[in-house]
């Protein structure tokens, strides 16, 4: 039987490590900037 | 305001104050009063951090800024998510491990007492000045609504916050932040929805955006790199990163929020939540301002949004002629806007361009009229800057009964939230880093809690005194950020040396910090760069000067 995996304290269930969560935050920043660039260009 | 609005306002404020006082009744220790016994969950940390940063200024000044300058201010926050990551990796584990009350305690462990004290002072000066501005913002509303002198409204607003903060410890502050943010989100969403509803029936939401875009108000992104341009992608990502890193990493009003988290994980998650939500939130607030701008293309705006200042000159003969000219221009512009809207609906780009050029020409004449009114106001000894009054004017004059009370409550609770955090941090820094460390190190817990309550009143009074002069500072949101940029870069530099440059010692860092601060103030006085870059300058100077001093005068105690 495998021992239960120890998860870092407070880590949300949809990521495996803090590093992965930081990656998601950076990805969301890139997505927001891309959206704003489209928004500016589209409504210009 | 109607009776219903007053009931909504008083019920909201009264319940929040009562909740704060009730929550604080158990906190009789330093850990409880200043850190809420380190028991907050991630969402409480996140909302508390957001509520601390989003003061009344955010809701008064930002829509006005979008009205006058477009949405480019949103770029200011691009560095924030990156700063949240750096703080999560570096600062949070360190602060939790050392179980500090303030960020500056850590500096004595790493350097020495003088560096800790100097950094505490660098924090206390801008924080108490900017807290004065956050008290002034809602006072402005009350003075306009009740036609009271701003001096009395400052005293009233300041007094209300002092009572709330003195009785409420950090636990009360953080718990009430959760409810405050809920009220804020609901209020601003309703305001945005109402603006579109108040436009002519044929103008839908997308039409409103297209009109705002054609008139240059949806300029959310500017890729051009320019050191003297306050808001572009690069100043936001680089300058904003350093400002946010220093604000969240070293300003006790924010550090106090996330070190109250139950664990490293809860604190991290709260900050990352802030990193993800802040830009969309600021975008929506600015969007409301852009929508209000479109509303005033169809309806005649006042010659000055500040009713009190306008009243000063309404009896001057020249004003009547300007008002009449402005009325005619507004009617003409309303026709031109309708023509632009029709052209956009038909996808007729050439007609749209003609209409836009006509609008721009009319705008030049309208601006000239407004400028002449501003001159009249200045001559009468008044303040001609009405940016902070634009959204307020719209709320009071256009929104329906009940919603006016709710929006005014939004501004009040936002102010209470950020002011409470700020007073709490001024108190904890002064008590922990100066009073307990240097003046009275061996008193009882009860004494420190009582002293903390007393010193909160003193800080509150000082902040109210600053509030008396805040109307001379132009756009309030910019004034707060400029103040921060003058000091935060140096503070951040000290912390970065502490974390990442282990070979640099106490003496080198202390004198580098003193030199860097003097140079930053000099650069600002000489207006050599836009204020956001001062953060980078201050930070870089501390690291660079400390390295040079260390090379010239090696310290025997360097680790």
Nearest neighbour of B218 by CB, restricted to A22, A26, A39: A39
Q: What average pLDDT does the structure give for chain B?
A: 85
Angle in degrees, CA A9, A15, A19, rounded to 5: 75
**Cβ <8 Å between B279 and A32:** yes
- pLDDT of A20 reads 93
pLDDT-derived band at B556 (thresholds 50, 70, 90) equals low
Judge: A37–B221 Cβ closer than 8 Å, yes or no. Answer: yes
Interface with A, mutate which of B41, B44, B70, B81 (most A CBs under 10 A): B81
Q: CA-CA distance, B66 to B68, in Å (whole number)? A: 6
CA distance B250 to B429: 12
Reported as a pLDDT band with limits 50, 70 and 90, residue A1 is very low
Q: Is the pLDDT of residue B57 over 80?
A: no
Model confidence at B395, pLDDT cuts 50, 70, 90, reads confident
pLDDT higher at B531 or B322: B322
| Averaged pLDDT, B124-147 | 79
SS3 A7: coil
pLDDT in tens, B140-194: 766 776 677 888 888 877 887 787 777 766 767 777 788 788 888 888 888 888 8
Which of the pair, B291 or B558, is modelled with greater confidence?
B291
The answer to pTM > 0.90 is no
Confidence class for position B453, pLDDT limits 50, 70, 90: confident
Chain A contacts in chain B segment 198-237 (CB below 8 A): 209-210, 212-214, 218-221, 223, 233
Residue of B43, B70, B85, B294 to mutate, interface with A, max A Cβ within 10 Å: B85
Beta-bridged to residue B261, according to DSSP, are B40
Query: Which residue in this structure is represented by tokens 């000045």?
Result: B129
In Å, what is the CA distance from B350 to each residue of B14, B215, B347, B356?
Answer: 56, 15, 9, 10
pLDDT of residue B113: 92
CA distance A4 to chain B (A): 19
- The whole-number pLDDT of residue B450 equals 87
Report the helix count and the strand count for chain B, using DSSP H and E.
Answer: 24, 0
Q: Which residues in chain A have their CB less than 8 angstroms from residue B263's CB?
A: 9-10
% of chain B exceeding 70 in pLDDT? 95
Give the distance from residue A17's alpha carbon to the nearest chain B alpha carbon, in angstroms: 11
Residue A5 has pLDDT above 60, yes or no: no
pLDDT band at B458 (very low <50, low <70, confident <90, very high): very high
Say which of A21, A28, A40 has its CB closest to residue B219. A40
Most confident of B32-46, B89-103, B370-384: B89-103
Report the residue of B211, B218, B352 to disrupt the A interface, i.e. the one with the largest count of A CBs within 10 Å. Answer: B218
CA atoms of A15 and B249, how far apart (whole Å): 25
CB-based contact, B23 to chain A, within 8 Å: no
Q: Are B56 and B412 in contact (CB under 8 A)?
A: yes
Query: How much is the average pLDDT of B251-265?
Result: 89
Choose the most confident range, by mean pLDDT, from B126-140, B148-162, B472-486, B500-514: B500-514
d(CA B11, CA A41): 44
Q: Please say if the pLDDT value at position B280 is more than 50.
A: yes
Kindly state whether B268 is in contact with chain A, defined as any CB-CB distance less than 8 angstroms: yes
Higher pLDDT, B502 or B479: B502
Q: What tokens were used for B90?
A: 């570096």
The complex's ipTM works out to 0.88
Q: Cβ-count burial of B148 within 10 angstroms (0-12 exposed, 13-18 middle, 19+ buried)?
A: middle
- Helix or strand or coil: residue B322? helix
Given this model, what pLDDT does residue B145 score?
A: 64
- What would the two tokens of residue A24 be? 């998601």
Query: By the CB < 8 Å criterion, does B277 face chain A?
Result: no
Asked if B540 and B493 touch (Cβ cutoff 8 Å), the reply is: yes
- pLDDT at residue B456 above 50? yes
CA–CA separation, B43 and B41 (whole Å): 6
- Give the mutation candidate from A17, A39, A41 for the B interface (greatest B CB count, under 10 A): A39
Q: Quick check: helix, strand or coil at residue B40?
A: strand
Of B65-69, B196-200, B467-471, the poorest mean pLDDT is in B467-471
Residue of B nearest to A12 (CA): B269
What band does B557 get if pLDDT is binned at 50, 70 and 90?
Answer: low
The distance of A3 to chain B (nearest Cα, Å) reads 23
Q: B514: pLDDT confidence band, cut at 50, 70 and 90?
A: very high
Contacts of B88 in chain A (CB under 8 A): 18, 22
Both tokens of B393, joined, read 């004017």
Q: What value does the mean pLDDT take over residues B402-423?
A: 83
- How distant, in Å, are the alpha carbons of B56, B99, B451, B491, B510 from that of B117? 30, 19, 19, 12, 10
> What is the mean pLDDT of the segment spanning B79-96?
93
């Amino acid at each position: 039987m495998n021992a239960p995996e120890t998860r870092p304290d407070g880590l949300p269930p949809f990521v495996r490590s803090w590093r992965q969560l930081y990656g998601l935050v950076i990805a969301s920043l890139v997505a927001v900037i891309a959206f704003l660039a489209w928004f500016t260009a589209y409504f210009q | 305001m109607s009776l219903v609005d007053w009931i909504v306002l008083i019920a909201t404020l009264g319940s929040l104050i009562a909740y704060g006082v009730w929550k604080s009744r158990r906190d009789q220790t330093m850990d409880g009063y200043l850190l809420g016994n380190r028991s907050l969950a991630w969402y409480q940390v996140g909302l508390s951090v957001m509520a601390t940063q989003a003061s009344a200024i955010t809701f008064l000044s930002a829509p006005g800024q979008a009205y006058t300058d477009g949405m480019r201010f949103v770029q200011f926050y691009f560095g924030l998510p990156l700063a949240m990551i750096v703080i999560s990796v570096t600062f949070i584990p360190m602060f939790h491990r050392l179980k500090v009350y303030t960020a500056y305690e850590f500096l004595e462990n790493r350097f020495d007492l003088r560096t800790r004290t100097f950094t505490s002072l660098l924090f206390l000066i801008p924080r108490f000045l900017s807290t004065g501005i956050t008290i002034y913002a809602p006072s402005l509303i009350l003075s306009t609504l009740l036609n009271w002198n701003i001096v009395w409204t400052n005293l009233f607003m300041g007094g209300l916050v002092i009572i709330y903060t003195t009785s409420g410890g950090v636990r009360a502050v953080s718990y009430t932040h959760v409810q405050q943010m809920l009220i804020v989100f609901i209020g601003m969403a309703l305001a945005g929805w109402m603006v579109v509803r108040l436009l002519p029936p044929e103008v839908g939401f997308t039409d409103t955006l297209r009109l705002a875009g054609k008139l240059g108000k949806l300029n959310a992104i500017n890729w051009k790199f320019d050191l003297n341009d306050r808001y572009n992608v690069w100043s936001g990502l680089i300058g904003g990163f350093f400002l946010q890193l220093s604000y969240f990493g070293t300003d006790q009003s924010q550090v106090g929020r996330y070190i109250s988290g139950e664990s490293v994980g809860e604190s991290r998650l709260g900050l990352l939540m802030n990193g993800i939500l802040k830009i969309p939130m600021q975008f929506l607030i600015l969007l409301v301002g852009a929508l209000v701008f479109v509303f005033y293309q169809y309806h005649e705006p006042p010659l000055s949004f500040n009713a009190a200042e306008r009243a000063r000159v309404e009896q001057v003969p020249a004003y009547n002629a300007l008002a009449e000219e402005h009325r005619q221009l507004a009617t003409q512009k309303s026709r031109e806007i309708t023509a632009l809207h029709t052209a956009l609906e038909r996808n007729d780009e050439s007609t749209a361009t003609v209409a836009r050029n006509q609008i721009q020409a009319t705008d030049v004449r309208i601006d000239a009229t407004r400028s002449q009114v501003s001159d009249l106001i200045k001559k009468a000894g008044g303040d001609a800057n009405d940016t902070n009054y634009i959204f307020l004017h719209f709320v009071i004059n256009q929104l329906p009964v009940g919603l006016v009370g709710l929006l005014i409550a939004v501004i009040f609770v936002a102010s209470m939230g950020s002011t409470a955090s700020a007073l709490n941090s001024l108190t904890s820094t002064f008590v922990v880093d100066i009073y307990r460390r240097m003046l009275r190190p061996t008193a009882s817990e009860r004494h420190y809690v009582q002293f903390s309550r007393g010193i909160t009143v003193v800080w509150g009074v000082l902040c109210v005194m600053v509030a008396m002069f805040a109307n001379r500072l132009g756009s309030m949101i910019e004034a707060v950020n400029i103040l921060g940029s003058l000091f935060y870069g140096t503070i951040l530099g000290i912390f970065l040396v502490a974390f990442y440059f282990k070979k640099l010692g106490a003496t080198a860092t202390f004198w580098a910090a003193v030199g860097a601060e003097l140079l930053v103030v000099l650069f600002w006085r000489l207006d050599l760069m836009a204020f956001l870059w001062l953060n980078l300058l201050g930070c870089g100077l501390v690291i660079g000067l400390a390295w040079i001093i260390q090379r010239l005068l090696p310290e025997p105690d360097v680790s």
